[in-house]
Every structure is written in structure tokens, then in C-alpha cells.
Chain A
Amino acid sequence: MKALLICPNERAGVAALAECVPLANVSILGKTLVEYWLEHLAGLGAQEVLILAADRPDQVLAGIGDGARWGLRVILKPDKFERTPEEARARHQASDQAAWLPAPNDVILMDYLPSLPQLPLFTSYADWFAAAQALMPLALTPDRLGVRELKPGEWVGLNAHVSAGAKLIAPCWIGERAWIEADATIGPNAVLEREVFIGHGAEVSHSVIGPETLVGQFTEIRNSIAWGSTLINWQRDSCLKVPDSFLLCSREPQRIRPVSANKPAPVHAPLSATARFREYATRLLT
């Protein structure tokens, strides 16, 4: 059985998010959107999936490979623009004699999550945040290795580190290999994607922190989506590129790889930057 996925191209409602990453590759609670859909199609009995991608197809392909992870044969076709499901059916299905999944699962435009079809993802930042929040209680599926629910509504991923003095307030999701320093407060309604670093005393609530993002010491992120150095307030629809890496930045350039597979090394913020921020934040708080 075959199926076809259409990757969403740029959307005006979430333009800043699309600048950071192709929307098909946006991580939501540890999996990308295209991963959720491939899982879903595999569950429906698909064996071959054709993916049409107009926006950075190389990155989409790098994230999914050949589909063997899901027992699928995945073929990615770069496209010039985002097609509607009707256009895609006419172009790719009409001349194909193979068996396809029954409609509407034969051709899918990935602008919502398979488990939440009623919640559009890319109409606005607020909608995207609402979908991520709605997914939280549904996300602890058996295929997620190492995710634990520490207390009701507090999910922590594999190899995540939560310091003893840190405070979690449900509902919150801590992605795998995330690192939370002491006196930080996470939640309510907070999602930290994989390998996020939360500095000492920082507060994150009603927000999503994208993968590999460093949140500086004593900062406060509320009603926002932070993705690398991009900070989007989903309530006010405003977007800022934070100029100071000690406040907010992508961790990728300073990334320290784990020393072994079993024991990941702690990941530290750049020392000079954190020292600077600690000094001025301490003055604020005393």
C-alpha cells in the first residue's frame, strides 16, 4: 500500500519558525512532524510513502533516511511549490497502478498532527503552541524509550538531568538529554525539546523551547517559543532575534558530545557569558 505526504511550505502565521527549520522537521515533544506521520502511516499498513517537499528537501531527507526505521520504503521528491492534496493525487496517483491507502489517508498535507486533526499547527504561533500542549498527555506512547512520568503531568525523557534544586510544575515535558540547573522552574505548560540547557534560576512557563537551545541563567521565558536565538511571543505575535548568547542561543556551536553512550557528559553554558549574566542578575535579585 502506498501513501503520499505533502510537506508544508512556508506559512505566514509561523514565518519565524519556518526560518529556523523546515516545518516538516519541526520537533514536537521529541519527534518531528514527518516522523509522526510516517509512524501513523506505518500503523495503517502503508509500505511505501512518497514525500513531496518544496522547502529544504535535503534537511527533510536527512531527518528520515530511507524509512527503514518504520518498516517503510520512503521516497522523497523535491517539488517547486506546495501542492494541494487534489493536485498531488492528479499528478502522482492517477497514473500509478499500485494499491494506495484509502482516502483521506492516501494523500496528506502535514499541517496537523495525526492524533489531533482538529488542531491546525501552522495558522499562528498560538495554534502551534496549543497543539503542542494538547499533545502532551497523549505523547507517552510505548515506542518512547526511557520517558518517565515522574509525577502526574511531569514527563522526563531519556538521559535528561534535572538538578535537585530545580522545580517542575505540571504539565511539563522535558526532552531527552535536556539539562536543567538548580533553582530553575519549569512549567506549568512548558515543553523542553531534546538537549535543551536551562541555566541556574531560569523560569520557563507556557512556552516551548526548541531542540538544542540554551536558556541563560536567571532568564524568564513566558508565553513564548524559543528556538535557538529566536524568541517568539505567541500571545503578542512578536519575534525577536536575541543578540546575547548568555540570554538565549543555539547550543549547537558549543556542543559537548557525551563521553560515553551510557553516561552523557554535562553540558555547560559558555563560562564567560554565564558569569556576566550571573553578576548582573544577582544584582537584580538582591
Chain B
Amino acid sequence: MNINQLNGTLSVTGLRELNATNAQAFRSALARALSRDLQAIEIDFSQTRAVDGAGLGALVALYETAKEHRKREGFAMRLTNPTPTVQQMIELARLHHLFEISPQGSAPEGTLPPINLT
């Protein structure tokens, strides 16, 4: 898993699975990388083959932590290029209402517009 930060966007790539085996490590690694000027988290799911409830829970926890970091300023979390089965899991748990989902082949370029949570 690779974590990069550029222009206020924290990008995660190379995630092969997000389940009970690595959910805690994933959450801790990203929580450590959060900064005050963070505007968005973008997680690339193109290589992710397995996601379970623990993995989804880690995403929610990360979102809550990042939102807390940003207090009242805008913040967005985007899940990009999920495989069809990963997208099914996300939709089953209703996380597509919470996160932005960019299906495969439709990820726009550039930084994300922040969402005002106030």
C-alpha cells in the first residue's frame, strides 16, 4: 500500500485487500498521515480484491477521524475505481451515500472540491 500527499489530497494506491487482516493497520497508517491542511482522501480500489465489514468499518473510522481533524472546514473522501464486487459491498453497507464513488474509468483528474459540512 502506498500513501502520498499532494496539494491537500492524501492518495492511497496499491491496496490489495481491506478486511479483518489489515483494517486496523490501514486505519492507523492513514491516521498518522492526516494533516491540518488535508482537504481530501482518495483511495484507489482498482487492485483491491477483497473488502469485508471490518474494512468498511475502517473506512468509516478514518472518515470520522479526518473530519474531526478538519473541524468545520470542508473535507471529502473519494473511493476510486472499485471493482464491481467491491462496489457491491460498499453499496450494500450504504457507504456510497457517505463517500464519493468514482467507478472504474470515470475518475476525474485534479484535486477534489471540498464539501462544506457545516
Contacts and interface: CB of A to CB of B under 8 A. Distances in A.
Tell whether A pairs with B.
yes
Interface residues of A, number: 24
B94 A284 contact: yes
Interface string B60-95: 100010000000000000000000110111011111
A242 to B, nearest CB: 7
A242 B90 CA distance: 11
B60 A238 contact: no
B84 A238 contact: yes
A214 interface: no
A3 B95 CA distance: 51
B25 to A, nearest CB: 18
Interface in B75-118: 84-85, 87-89, 91-95, 97-98
B14 to A, nearest CB: 22
B8 interface: no
Contact of B92 (A239, A242, A276, A283): A242
B92 A238 contact: no
A87 interface: no
Contacts of B89: 240, 242
A181 to B, nearest CB: 16
A222 interface: yes
Contact of B85 (A220, A224, A240): A240
Describe A's contact surface by its main secondary structure.
mixed
A223 B91 CA distance: 11
Interface string A259-281: 00000000000000000110011
B5 interface: no
Contacts of A159: none
Given A240-B88, A283-B60, A218 B53 contact: no
A80 interface: no
A239 B60 contact: no
Most A CB contacts (10 A, CB to CB) among B92, B94, B95 go to B92
A246 interface: yes
B85 A218 contact: no
B52 A243 contact: yes
Given A280-B57, A283-B64, A247 B84 contact: no
A281 B94 contact: yes
Interface in A231-256: 231, 233, 236, 238-240, 242-244, 246-248
A7 B60 CA distance: 46
Interface of A: 218-222, 224, 231, 233, 236, 238-240, 242-244, 246-248, 276-277, 280-281, 283-284
Interface of B: 19, 50, 52-53, 56-57, 60, 64, 84-85, 87-89, 91-95, 97-98
